[in-house]
Amino acid sequence: MTLAALAAQLVNGLASASALFLLAAGLTLIFGVTRIVNFAHGSLYMVGAYGAWALVDRFGPASFWAAVAAATLLGAVLGALAERGVLRRLYDAPEMLQLTATFAFVLITRDALLWLFGAEDRLGPRVPGLAGTLTLGPLTLPQYDAVLVVAGPLVLVALTLLVRRTRFGLYVRAAAENRVVAGALGIDEARLFTLVFALGAGLAALAGALQLPREPANLAMDLPAVADAFVVTVVGGLGSIPGAFVAALLIAEVKALCIGLGTQTIGGVPIAFPQLTLVAEFAVMAVVLTLRPQGLFGRVATALPTTTLPEQRALVARGGRATLLAAAAIALVGIAGPLLADEYVRVLATDILVATLFAASLQWLLGTGGLTSFGHAAYFGVGAYAAALAARHGWPFAAALAWGPLAALVWAALCGWFAVRSHGVYLAMLTLAFAQITWAAAFQWDAVTGGSNGLFGLWPPAWLADRTRYFLFTAVVVGGAWSGLRAITRGRFGYAVRATRDSPLRAAASGIPVRHTQWRAFVIAGGFAGLAGALYTFAKGSIGPDALAIPRSVDAIVMVLLGGLASWFGPLAGAGVFTWLQDTLARTFDYWRAALGALILAIVLLFPGGIGGAWQWLRARSR
């Protein structure tokens, strides 16, 4: 390629970097002050895009800049409302509950926009006066991109001045430094947090509105946006605005370089660099986090002992005869019930069993390990795809089924190796980013994964083709795997994992290699999720990228929360109620996602202990 073409790509990269920075700046600002990672940041971005589109549609392209301003304001108002209404109650809650609550907003926002605008993409306007191209020496680039190139640094300067030079900025810095002292100094924390949320949300909406001329507003733009924002903030260092800028620049330019390089032959092997942009993003993140786990500009966070609830003991308590009887009764009813009912119930029950194993693997990670994963579906999906591909290549059923969890295990070993270097929200964001990359690979790698259509015709062999038989087969496999996982939880390794969760400091001082132990816990969770995925493939006869998308990871978290983080029957209770509810809602109600979002908010705000917690509470009261 020519030098001029490469330079054009690099300038293009600058425009992308600005867009990325605008997206990430609000997220990192909100985190810096409130310590909340806002999952709905991508949704505010989407609101910004749709808001600007609606106004331009109504008032014509000449109103574009006014529409951008109005959309920004709309985002700020929505952010302030969400903070006042819900998030304020969660400042002292575990981060998993905070993240899950903000995900409820993702679901609600998506359905609200679906209701308002319908499902089709909304094409943005050509911005008046900026529709042409700009020529700089040998370079030509769209004039609007030039505006974006400037917008990023402008916002960086404005935010820096705001934080460094104003009274509001002083309060922001004080609150970021030490919340208690800031309160003692008479800073009105409640008002400050609302303002910061409004500012951050406004920035997200601004980013979305400014993106409109480059990318149509659509209902699928929220999660990729938030995943991008997570990568940028984690690489830059959570809470650091300059860090977000440098990270956005780094990532956008590495991607631009990949596109600019085109297909190059290295050592006789042709490598199509444009297809490697995802890998490049992953590589940048991996390199930075290996060298600096706190991100480029982040501060080292001390590893605090994970607070543990007394009821988490229930996870390991040696079950007495009553527990054994209860388990036997559940198994009996769970198997006999569907056998007596019609085929539809057996299919649903198979789904519930698969979801139970998936939820149990996540409960092991979240509850026993204290490792907040927001991308657990990646390992479910890798297991599902691996089994599907093996079946495609003519492997016998048993081998294909075994290959699923094995592949998931390998992928979890790689992702987990980076993930366990961090903890808390960092870990949650990293796992989410890995899951997003895994999803994108499944979605884009047409030749292997069938792209967005996925793979079809993957039925179990004749002796299992009958739905009833496959249900029984699933019951046996899930029952065995779940018992195995419980044996691990209650065994030596389970205790070591809990030790690293209860107190990393004490665990290390007792000779337990903390990171290595957590890594192994992560790999085990990935393997069991992969087995659930493999069972899923043959239950459905097909597999598509939805099986490993972010919403599926959150489904699993909701199941675990619904069942109770600490309850041994939690995964079954949570998976059962959730799967049944989703099935019923999805058949009767177009906006079931919003209903699910409302359900999540209700759990998080009212019953953080889930079904298992409520059960224990009732039992304690009846004594």
Partner 1 sequence: MVAGTLAMSGPLLAVRGVTRAFGGVEALAGVSFDVAAGERVALIGPNGAGKTTCFNVLGGQLAPDRGDVQLAGQSLLGLAADAIARRRVGRTFQVAATFASMTVRENVEVALRGVGRDAGLARATLERAAAADLADRHAGTLAYGDAKRVEFALALAVDPVLLLMDEPTAGMLPRDRRALMDAVRMATAAGIAVLFTEHDMDVVFGYADRIIVLDRGRVLADAAPDAVRADPRVQAVYLGEDAA
The residues binding partner 1 (CB under 8 A) are 305, 308, 310, 312-313, 316, 492, 495-496, 498-499, 501-503, 505-514
Nearest distance in Å: CB 517, partner 1: 9
Nearer residue to partner 1 within complex by CB, 466 or 502: 502
Find out whether 384 and 534 touch, Cβ atoms under 8 Å: yes
- With beta carbons less than 8 A apart as the criterion, state whether 572 and 559 touch: no
Contact 524/358 with Cβ under 8 angstroms? Answer: no
- Which C-beta is closer to partner 1: that of 38 or that of 489? 489
CB of 495 to partner 1, least distance (A): 5
CA atoms within 13 A on the CB side of 184: 5
Q: Which 8-state DSSP code applies to residue 297? A: S
Helix (H) and strand (E) counts in the chain: 26, 4
Reference 435, options 224, 580, 260; nearest CA is 224
- What SS3 state is found at 112? helix
Compute CA distances 533 → 110, 364, 386, 439, 440, whole Å: 26, 17, 9, 14, 18
* Beta carbon of residue 368, minimum distance to partner 1 (angstroms, whole number): 9
The residues, ordered by sequence, that sit 6+ positions from 466 with a Cβ below 8 Å of its Cβ are none
- On whether the CB atoms of residues 547 and 355 are closer than 8 A, the answer is no
Residue of 331, 82, 375, 90 lying closest to 226 (CA atoms): 375
The single-letter code of the amino acid at 234 is V
- Considering the complex, state which of residue 126 and residue 506 has its C-beta at the smaller distance from partner 1: 506
Give the residue with the Cβ less far from partner 1, 312 or 537.
312
Nearer CB in complex with partner 1: 372/449: 372
Q: Which is nearer to partner 1, 74 or 507 (CB)?
A: 507
CA angle 598, 601, 604 (to 5 degrees): 150
* Residue 438 beta carbon to partner 1: minimum distance, rounded to whole angstroms: 31
**Residue among 391, 408, 396 at smallest CA distance from 457:** 391
Cβ proximity to partner 1, 447 vs 509, nearer residue: 509
Nearest residue (CB) to partner 1, 346 versus 486: 486
Nearer to partner 1, 174 or 512 (CB): 512
Q: Least distance to partner 1 from the beta carbon of 511, Å?
A: 4
Asked if 518 and 369 touch (Cβ cutoff 8 Å), the reply is: yes
* Minimum gap (Å) between residue 317 Cβ and partner 1: 10
What are the beta bridge partners of residue 140? 135
Shortest Cβ 305–partner 1 spacing (Å): 7
Closer residue to partner 1 (CB): 294 or 503: 503
| Tokens 């996870």 -> residue | 315
Other CB atoms within 10 A of residue 199 CB: 22
By C-beta, is 59 or 495 nearer to partner 1?
495
CB of 112 to partner 1, least distance (A): 41
Q: Are 295 and 247 in contact (CB under 8 A)?
A: yes
**Residue closer to partner 1 (CB basis): 297 or 411:** 297
Cβ proximity to partner 1: between 294 and 312 the closer is 312
Compute the least distance from the CB of residue 372 to partner 1, in Å.
17
Q: How near is the Cβ of 592 to partner 1 at its closest, in Å?
A: 37
Residue 332 to residues 96, 329, 345, 612, Cα–Cα distance (Å): 34, 5, 15, 20
Is the Cβ–Cβ distance between 552 and 582 less than 8 Å?
A: no
In angstroms, what is the C-alpha Rg of the chain? 25
State the minimum distance, in angstroms, from the CB of residue 315 to partner 1: 8
Which tokens belong to 423?
């903890």
CB closer to partner 1 out of 164 and 313: 313
533: CB partners within 8 A, 6+ apart: 358, 379, 380, 381, 382, 383, 384, 385, 387, 404, 408, 547
Of residues 300 and 447, the one with the C-beta less far from partner 1? 300
CB of 214 to partner 1, least distance (A): 44
DSSP string, 463-530: HHHSHHHHHHHHHHHHHHHHHHHHHHHHSHHHHHHHHHHH-HHHHHHTT--HHHHHHHHHHHHHHHHH
Q: Are 212 and 124 in contact (CB under 8 A)?
A: yes
CB of 313 to partner 1, least distance (A): 6
Cβ 243 to partner 1, closest distance in Å?
Answer: 19
* Closest CB 369 distance from partner 1, rounded Å: 12
